[in-house]
Amino acid sequence: MTTITLHQGDITRQTVDAIVNAANSSLLGGGGVDGAIHRRGGPAILEECRKLRASHYGRGLPTGRAVATTAGALDARWVIHTVGPVWSATDDRSELLASCYRESLRVADELGARTVAFPAISTGVYGWPLDDGARIAVETVRTTPTSVTETRFVLFDRRAYDIFTAATT
């Protein structure tokens, strides 16, 4: 069973085995967490993403799936890229969001990662309500069998930290 910890701050500054990237399906970088990870991690991450895209994901990584690359210059061994769903008021996409966390933990297990840092997937520009996103994230991590010993949620601001704190109690 993994221990869940919460941290407020910059996910790119975490010293862990793997950092989870809330990627877009192109795997070629973007804004938010994705852009920050690519900028701080350097060109090695983008190079591996391009290779993955060319060999396996020409149309893009499907929503809810996860793949790993080097972490480049980050204080981690790997970056696990997962594509979160865009929130919809009319279409329940919560299973896809849960899949991002399950698939990331599955990839972490395959890599032998013991510490993993997650952002609040889909709660930024993809519009997922933060309280629901926190509930899904925490519940999924708690119920997913994994060899990861610490799952760290790294929240950008105090509001997100407080909402994740409420979801863990």
Residues carrying an active site annotation = 34
Q: Structure tokens of 36?
A: 């920050």
In the chain, the amino acid numbered 37 is: I
Residue pair 77/71 in contact (Cβ under 8 Å)? The answer is yes
Enter the tokens of residue 161.
Answer: 């930290």
Q: Of the candidates 51, 167, 65, 72, which has an alpha carbon nearest to the alpha carbon of residue 106? A: 65
CA dihedral 28, 33, 39, 45 (to 10 degrees): -50
Token digits of residue 163: 């909402």
Check if the beta carbon of residue 79 is closer than 8 Å to that of residue 21. yes
